Amino acid sequence: VQLVESGGGLVAAGGSLRLSCAASGFSFDDYAIGWFRQAPGKEREAVSYIRPDTGRQYYSDSVKGRFPISSDNAKNTLFLQMNNLKPEAAAVYYCAANEIVPLSLASWSVSDVGSWGEGTQVTVSS
């Protein structure tokens, strides 16, 4: 399993970024795939993921309604469209994949993640 993120950068508050995660070595039909983030001095937290069986999307309260997650299964690519960015969204964003599908976002802990990307930095200026 290999995950490679891209799309991070510096953006002004209120702006948008689109993160991508190019995946290989597995099928999106079989794995839960999503995004975590880690801000300086804070623990890594789950942001969003997609169930492989139903396509249902899960979001943290802090991003719900602003950061839609999507995937192109034919290209094995995951996206996170980040809209109306706030300074508190600044973090390193990591793509994550799991063969065991979590029951909820809250139950998908860092220790349960099977595969990680190297992360992409998102910086939001106020």
CB 116 within 8 A of CB 90: no
DSSP letter string, 33-89 = EEEEEE-TTS--EEEEEE-TTT--EEE-TTTTTTS-EEEEGGGTEEEEEE-S--GGG
CA distance 98 to 95: 11
Share of the chain above pLDDT 70, in %: 100
Share of the chain above pLDDT 90, in %: 99
Helix, strand, coil percentages, rounded to 5, for the chain:
5, 45, 45
What's the confidence (pLDDT) of residue 105?
94
Mean pLDDT, all residues of the chain: 96
**How confident is the model over 95-118, as a mean pLDDT?**
95
Nearest of 39, 40, 11, 36 to residue 21 by alpha carbon: 36
Burial letters 106-125, b for 16+ CB under 10 A, else e: eebeeeebebbbebbebebe
Q: For residue 126, what are its two tokens? A: 């106020």
What's the confidence (pLDDT) of residue 8?
98
Nearest of 9, 16, 119 to residue 66 by alpha carbon: 16
**pLDDT band at residue 45, thresholds of 50, 70 and 90?**
very high
